A and B are shown apart, each in its own frame.
Chain A
Amino acid sequence: MEDFFTNNSVCVSVEAPAENLVQEIAYDGQEVFQLPLTLSENLTKQAHKIDWIKREDDDNDDDTHSATVTTEKKVEEDSKKADFQTSSWPWDSVRNKLRSALTEVCVLADVLVIAKDKRYMVLDPVQQEQPDQRQLAQLFSKKRGLTAAANILLHGAERLKISQSDTARAKSNQDFHLELLRLRQSWTLKKIGNSILGDLSYKSAGSRFYQTGIFEVTKSEDPDQELSLETTSENQSKQSMIKVTIPPELGGTAYIQVTIQKDQDILCTTNVNLLHTSLIHSDPSRDANPWTSKLEAAQNVLFCKELFSQLAREAVQLQAAIPHMVVGNQITASLFPGIQLSIHFQSSYSAGVDKRQLVSNNSTSLVAKVDHNYILEHSLHQLLRQVHLNNVGQPVPHPSSAPLGPTKRRRLAGPHAYDRDELLLMTKNESILEQIIRQGQHVVLRLRTMFVIDSIAREIRDPLIISHWNVLNSPTLSCVKIIIMTHGYDTLQRTALVVHVGEKTLKCVCRDGRVLQMSYEPQELRDLILCQISQHQINAVQSLARFLGWHVASSSAHLGLGPVEPLGNASSCILSSPSGNRILSVRCGPQAAQPQVYLSTYPRHDTEKNKVLTDIRWEQLNTRYEEVRLEKIEGRNFLSRMELLMASLTCRLPMNWE
């Protein structure tokens, strides 16, 4: 070491730089310096900075290493100096380190020498960093793999979650399509773009109403509500997946009310509404498909609107003697003097109220209130539907080359040279209003006829009046058969007459073949029936007399004697007993409650025997007629009393006669 030190006489001064570190700079720019280290502190600090493990080359020939070598040498010198200056023990670790460093440096120098000679050993570059890089890459790849796996798992979980919710949705979807199919079976549907539109108008059936009945079909989007509904009410059938949106003007309910009123009294009311209570409650499919009732209600509204607008148009166009009035939602037409037909369009648009309930309430209350006349209601339907049918069902041409359109009668018009009147007749088309007025008139006339017959039958117990109404009749013609007979004597005499009730007139066919035309005034029919009753009584008495062996001396249906009847004529007959000594005279007038019976007998009891006229034949002169008080005679009715009377009068001849 000494040699080494002396040989290399380069002095390296080791000292701290003149400038100390700036500790802080004051605000006035003055720098406060750190206090310089003491020499020993400095040395210790420097010595501790040295990494003694670092390589040290022995060789001097390597220039590149010379700088480091020199620094190391300086350090060694320093250590020597420090060794000299301080006790050896504090530098012990330094010394140990130096020693180990020196050993290492020597080994390194040996290795270098061997490597340099390339005689024993060849140094190959060894990729030292590779395993480290691979680890990093592995880490990355593992991380990536894990994230991918996590993604897959998450994705799968997500899909499971979706599919779970989807099964419910798919089920509902399937329901939607099924319901759509069911809807399609009864309603016209069309797909335009993304929306499904339907048509509930009667256009395909021939309606030419301007208003369209287009509705939209969408999927109902309230599963939560549905669920809650399902849970809350078991009874409630499953909520429909189809949501039907109808135009607002077709919402609610509507019906047409036909009223026949005499001044203020309602004679007859009909209520035209497609949705009857019976229909609503009985049809099971209506409950299954909630949209059915909604659509049908809308269709009903449309139908009623069309019907009313058609009627209103006709009411304005028609030239009636008493003009029809159209005021707001009401059409008024007069049927007979004092009797009016009013057609009222009732419409209720209820947004929140349950429609079905509303309808049923309405109809039940109406049914309860007035007697429901189905005939006019049905007729109104039928009439409009007939118009529709005529619009659609054009006649088919024959032969096939003939043009479409004209009816058969119009085709025949040319070849048959129809004249103007016939052609005009052909163009005449009866409107719905006219037809319904005619039907209304018929209804009124029929009610009146019924009333007249029933009231007569109630008033007059003897003879009996039986009426048979034909069940089958046309809307403007019905027929009643009236039979007048006496109880217990129905095989003896029956008087039958048939009354055809038309629109404005009555036609009565009597038994003898007479045909009487009567107006709509009920009094006329009443008079006729009363006349028929009186004639019946006389005829019946005659039959009875013949049956009992009496003789009909004379009979007259139109008696010119006695008090004048206010209407018609009294009829009478004169009957004589088999022996001829009793004469009965029966008189029956239409207004009389009971027939009058007069009796005349011979020989006279009141006078003495004539002295002059002794011949017996003069005794046959009848006495004056005396009225028989029939009500004192036993018997249920006139004929039975007469029978009793005649039987009692049929006695043997007086003795003196023989």
Chain B
Amino acid sequence: MAGNQNPISAIDMLTSALRSNIIPNQEYLLQGSVIDSSAEVLHNRLRGLCDAAETGPETFHDHEMCFSLKASSPGGTPQQQQSFLLRVRRALDHPEYPWQLRYLGQPELGEKNQPTVLRSCIDIACTPNVVEFLSELGCRIEFEYVLKGYLFRKGRMKVTMSKIFRMGQAKSPDSLEAMTGSYLVELSLLAPSGQDAVADEIKVFAEQLRPLVHLEKIDYRRLQSYS
């Protein structure tokens, strides 16, 4: 009996936690890019601004796979099919860390005066067989890439400065091929929903990086329509 009660209480706890808005599931995001030649300047600026300056920046080397799950309603036309993206990311330089499964909601640009993009975000740590699991569920890999760069922390904010590499066919680290000649800079903060004040905090920090990199709200749909 006790075994039956436990899962129920766990779900209850989870729902009550969700209801009371203590789970950080909203991501406030600003993005920008900086060209390789100027990357060092930005790097130094970030080192100066962010926490733990004495230990130096943390590097990361991640591999991300994006799975899509086509959820088609029985009577729906192909246009109504919604693709549902799930991202699996692993740290290539720290194999002992768990993999991360990530769901990202549609980014909300909001009004013009809203300082950041807001998107719902759910992160779950998982074991490496998540790939197998997702494949069994019917997901298929849409794309994959490798990110390599630096991670900074400023309070609750996370700043990444990374270079995107195309995943070679051989899937060996040597076959990395840079996608662009610039670095992707992301400034993000995870917070429970309803804490819009943090967006201003992000904006202020972005202003401090202003001459070096323009961190803005990027509208993906518009980018897609351009391409």
Contacts and interface: CB of A to CB of B under 8 A. Distances in A.
A399 B63 CA distance: 8
B144 to A, nearest CB: 13
A396 B160 CA distance: 12
A393 B55 CA distance: 10
Main secondary structure of the interface of B (DSSP, over half): strand
Contacts of A185: none
B60 A398 contact: yes
Contacts of A396: 58, 151, 153
Interface in A394-449: 394, 396-404, 408, 411-412, 414-416
A412 B55 CA distance: 24
Given A392-B52, A396-B151, A411-B98, A402 B123 contact: yes
A399 B126 contact: no
A198 B24 CA distance: 35
Given A403-B123, A403-B190, A415 B98 contact: yes
A396 B9 CA distance: 32
B163 interface: no
A400 B62 contact: yes
A392 B63 CA distance: 28
Interface in A347-403: 392-394, 396-403
Interface in A241-259: none
A13 to B, nearest CB: 112
Nearest to B123: A403
B102 A401 contact: yes
A404 B151 CA distance: 11
Nearest to A412: B98
Contacts of B99: 399, 415
Contacts of A412: 97-98, 125
Interface of A: 392-394, 396-404, 408, 411-412, 414-416
A400 B60 CA distance: 7
Contacts of A415: 98-99, 125-127
Nearest to B158: A404
B126 A414 contact: yes
A400 B124 contact: no
Contacts of B158: 397, 400, 404
Contacts of A414: 98, 124-126
B68 interface: no
B93 interface: yes
Contacts of B217: none
A133 to B, nearest CB: 71
A421 B158 CA distance: 32
B51 A392 contact: yes
B74 to A, nearest CB: 34
A408 B125 CA distance: 11
Interface of B: 24, 51-52, 55, 58, 60, 62-64, 87, 89-91, 93-94, 97-100, 102, 123-127, 147, 149, 151, 153, 156, 158, 160, 162, 190
Contacts of B98: 411-412, 414-415
A394 B151 CA distance: 13
Given A404-B190, A414-B98, A414-B125, A399 B52 contact: no
Contact of A408 (B97, B160, B162): B97
Given A397-B151, A399-B64, A399-B97, 10 more contacts: A393-B52, A394-B153, A396-B153, A398-B91, A399-B91, A400-B62, A400-B149, A400-B160, A408-B97, A412-B125
Contacts of A400: 60, 62, 89, 91, 147, 149, 151, 158, 160, 162
A154 to B, nearest CB: 52
Contacts of B90: 399
A361 B165 CA distance: 66
A398 B151 CA distance: 10
A408 B97 CA distance: 7
Nearest to B51: A392
B57 to A, nearest CB: 9
Contact of A401 (B87, B93, B149): B87
Nearest to B92: A399
Contacts of A397: 151, 158
Contacts of B97: 398-399, 402, 408, 411-412
Contacts of B126: 414-415
Given A393-B52, A396-B58, A408-B97, A402 B125 contact: yes
Contacts of A402: 89, 97, 100, 123, 125
B156 A399 contact: no
A414 B151 CA distance: 24
A412 B99 CA distance: 9
Given A404-B153, A404-B156, A411-B97, A399 B62 contact: yes
Given A393-B52, A411-B97, A399 B89 contact: yes
Contacts of B51: 392
A394 B156 CA distance: 10
Nearest to B152: A396
Contacts of A403: 24, 123, 190
B177 to A, nearest CB: 20
